[in-house]
Amino acid sequence: MFQTLKAQPADKILSLMQTYKADDRDTKIDLGVGVYKDASGNTPVMRAVKEAERRLVADQTTKAYVGLAGDPAFADAMIELLLADALPREHIAAIATPGGTGAIRQALEMVKLAAPDATVWISAPTWPNHPSIIKYLGMKMREYRYFDEDTRGVDFDGMIADLSTVAEGDIVLLHGCCHNPTGANPTADQWDTIIQTLQAAKAVPLVDVAYQGFGDGLEEDAQATRKIAAAFANVMIAASCSKNFGIYRERTGILMGIARDETEAKMTQANLNFLNRQNYSFPPDHGARVVTTILNDPALRADWEAELEETRNTMLGLRKQLADELRRLTNDDRFDFIADHRGMFSRLGTSEDKVETLRADHAIYMVSDSRMNIAGLNEKTVPILAKAIVDAGI
Ligand code: LMR
């Protein structure tokens, strides 16, 4: 049977991880995969996570199954974190999923159940795994314009023009904050126009929130998602705890389904539970329990928020340092967008050839579309990157 297998397309982020590992230059700089690194290049376990795990190990008395949707306390805590009181809790169905990717996958499976002919619209560009999963599931897909290659900001007119053509019932995948891979995000006013456009088109938003707390703050980063959740009859929200809790390998995420009323929410919940059962049965519990412990304990939560804020401020500082350094070296403000972008990534906006030059000549690794992980930098490597960008003629 296996003799019929063909090679699958490589994921450019994951293959870059391999190439980086194999490079033996000790000056190499990894700006590839989206993992937070501190000034010494480590991805630490957050203090609150360590403490919550310590309590779990000490107090947990069973590892028996929890439930198909995961622990209801996890759903409550995550809904409160992301949606606050944007809409009644009874209108929200939710399942725990293996990471944010699991939530995206289950959201798309939900579309296959509820609206199999719908087209899924993705931003151009988007996280490469979005189109990869959509294609794998055999779903219809289209792109809407998003990124302005000249300004490195949002191509808002293009975005709105394309979203106006979305058909009734189509799914529109939006990044709730910290757009991956560009780092460019709509303003609050622009979000209002996006919402009005999608309402007029009678579209169904699917919001991917993988970086809450990495942009402007936990509350600030949730604003667009809250508005969307309150503005449509049906919305799906895929949220990840990988980055903001730093628990990448624990695979902790959640899919929320916003329904029109309680009855519809119950039917949505039953279908979400069914999908979990079909795909992996019970979702992973450890990371979810750690997150719930932190969010429900005021002291742990305060400590987590403080550490997350340090993380965010570090990234903002690196953004500013890099933009300043490039302005100094080029005597030009064309790289100022790096300081305006938010989240872990910025798209430099250069050719694959130049990205390759940075790798070959300077041992600097970024994704081929010129996405850089800002958190892969530190105060000492920022000037090295800036000089390499100038030397490469970018
Ligand atoms: C990324 O975009 O680098 C992260 O979301 C990690 C991944 O799975 O691609």
Same domain for 240 and 124: yes
Which residue is catalytic, options 239, 243, 304, 369?
Answer: 243
Active-site annotation holds for 208: yes
Q: Is 236 part of a structural domain of the chain? A: yes
Distance 158 CA to ligand 1 centre (A): 26
Which residue is catalytic, options 30, 75, 93, 127?
Answer: 127
CATH code where residue 37 lies: 3.90.1150.10
Report how far residue 211's alpha carbon sits from residue 315's, in angstroms, rounded to the nearest whole number: 13
Same domain for 191 and 317: no
Q: Is 350 part of a structural domain of the chain? A: yes
Q: Is 127 part of a structural domain of the chain? A: yes
Same domain for 285 and 384: no
Q: Is 6 part of a structural domain of the chain? A: no
Report how far residue 258's alpha carbon sits from residue 210's, in angstroms, rounded to the nearest whole number: 18
**What are the tens digits of pLDDT across the range 263-302?**
999 999 999 999 999 999 999 999 999 999 999 999 999 9
**Across the chain, what does the average pLDDT equal?**
97
Q: Is 57 part of a structural domain of the chain? A: no
User: Is the pTM higher than 0.95?
Assistant: yes
Distance 253 CA to ligand 1 centre (A): 14
Question: Which residues make beta-bridge pairs with 207?
Answer: 174, 237
Which residue is catalytic, options 94, 103, 118, 210?
Answer: 210
The token pair at 90 is 């009874």
Same domain for 171 and 86: yes
Distance 298 CA to ligand 1 centre (A): 30
DSSP 309-325: HHHHHHHHHHHHHHHHH
Report how far residue 340's alpha carbon sits from residue 152's, in angstroms, rounded to the nearest whole number: 10
Which structural domain, as residue segments, surrounds residue 104? 65-296
Q: Is 212 part of a structural domain of the chain? A: yes
Q: How many domains does the chain have?
A: 2
- Specify the residue with its C-alpha closest to ligand 1, atom 5: 34
Report how far residue 275's alpha carbon sits from residue 171's, in angstroms, rounded to the nearest whole number: 19
Same domain for 82 and 20: no
CATH code where residue 276 lies: 3.40.640.10
**What are the tens digits of pLDDT across the range 64-106?**
999 999 999 999 999 999 999 999 999 999 999 999 999 999 9
Q: Work out which ligand 1 atom sits closest to the CA atom of 127.
A: 2
Question: Which residues make beta-bridge pairs with 237?
Answer: 207, 256
Distance 180 CA to ligand 1 centre (A): 9
Same domain for 225 and 276: yes
Active-site annotation holds for 243: yes
Local structure of residue 140 (DSSP, 8 states): E
Active-site annotation holds for 7: no
Same domain for 173 and 152: yes
Report how far residue 164's alpha carbon sits from residue 172's, in angstroms, rounded to the nearest whole number: 11
Q: Is the CB of 180 under 6 A from ligand 1?
A: yes
